Amino acid sequence: MNIVYVLYPGFTALDLVGPYEVISRWPDARVHFLATSPRPVRADVGLTVVPSCTPETAPRPDVIVVPGGGETASLDAAADPALIGWIRRAAPHADRLASACTGAFLYAAAGLLEGRRATTHWGMRENLRAMGVDVVAERVVFDGPVVTGAGVSAGIDMALALTAEVHGERTAKALQLLIEYDPQPPFDSGSPDTASASTLRTAARMLLGDRPFATVRRVTGHLLTARRRRPVR
């Protein structure tokens, strides 16, 4: 089974490495790293990966995995005609199309999320919705052959859920134990639903960088409003 991981400058390291640690352990996995050139590709925090193929040399994929990117990296990649062209051409041959975080933007740019439900990083939901995608605030979303994960660490959840779909729960549970994925974070602030308003504002400033404060306030305000409107279960 050919697993093709898509690389582009500024991809988020955990968006790639998290799913890789799970999916690449499938018993029939053959791993490939695709980029538009054979030169090493640098992640947003310095990790560098050497591609094993380009759009011209890539094998026919069974599974495509697209990581998200820091700042505007995934948006820049979504505007790369060579990369999006390959995704668009290869997708019909793949059994599964997977993404973590803002990797969903590349599928949207290729026209593969039209009429589908998908998720992405909480800070970029409105941007993905503006591309005509039915964006939902869930950790992992399946819609047909497409499976999308929310922000960064959700890529591991996505990969385990995909493993269960492809190889069954027994294999997925064993891989979860193998990588000792047993999250017990020190703080209950890993979701906009549980983070305080102050934490949301701080995280939004980190996410949006030098963009105007009004933009930070708008993103934070939208998330707080959505949280207040959500019915109590």
Question: Which residues are tagged catalytic?
Answer: 101
Residue 178, Cβ density class (10 Å: 0-12 exposed, 13-18 middle, ≥19 buried): exposed
Three-class SS of residue 222?
helix
Three-class SS of residue 143?
strand
Residue 29, Cβ density class (10 Å: 0-12 exposed, 13-18 middle, ≥19 buried): middle
Q: How far is it, in rounded angstroms, from Cα 213 to Cα 198?
A: 14
**Site of tokens 């790639």:** 16
| Residue 214 structure tokens | 């009004």
Three-class SS of residue 226?
helix
Residue 123, Cβ density class (10 Å: 0-12 exposed, 13-18 middle, ≥19 buried): buried
| Residue 150 structure tokens | 């929310």
Q: How far is it, in rounded angstroms, from Cα 169 to Cα 217?
A: 42
**Site of tokens 């495509």:** 64
